[in-house]
Amino acid sequence: MPNLKPKSEPKSLTGTAKLIIAPFLYGWPDKRCLLAYTSHEGLAVVAALPDEKGMAPSLWDVAANHLPTNIRPDDTGEQYARWLVSTGWGYSVIRWNPSLILDGEEWTVTIRKTLREFKEHQYGRAVCGWYGVHTGTLTLKDPLLTNKARDMLNER
């Protein structure tokens, strides 16, 4: 696979690809957010939707809290990215209740981190079919859909 890394990474992405949004427990026992999973130009996108105050957890930091501490320092970002892709991909194969599946609705991701190309490993280069990931915060263009998504955090 050729290195497709541009000269500088984008600060944000806008798209209309299929989007899955569902509540995500990122810190025991009660730290919850909305996790969004989609794709953009061949990379997975795993992002958190900001709450009413504009706050959203750093999913990169969440990944750090869920992985062992004995990772080689030069593999840390790689392992965080793999965890994020696997977590987001899980939302596409398991029907979460509640969840919101949108197709054709405009969204924008403010990028915090990008890993553009996974290293080769025992199972190949792809993780859940993706060769890299963008992570950050996602906003929906339609405020009514944003409110509908946020309402899912109150459902139990």
Residue in 50, 68, 22 with CA at minimum distance from that of residue 108 = 50
In this predicted model, what pLDDT tens digit does every residue of 34-44 receive, in sequence order?
A: 999 999 998 99
From first CA to last CA, the distance across the chain in angstroms is 44
Map tokens 């993706």 to a residue: 130
Higher pLDDT, 49 or 66: 49
Of the pLDDT bands very low, low, confident and very high (cuts 50, 70, 90), residue 76 is confident
Please provide residue 12's backbone torsions phi and psi, each rounded to the nearest 5 degrees. -150, 160
Mean pLDDT of 22-32: 93
Give whole-number Cα distances, 30 to 33, 63, 149, 153, in Å.
10, 17, 18, 11
The whole-model pTM stands at 0.86
Q: Quick check: 2 pLDDT over 50?
A: no
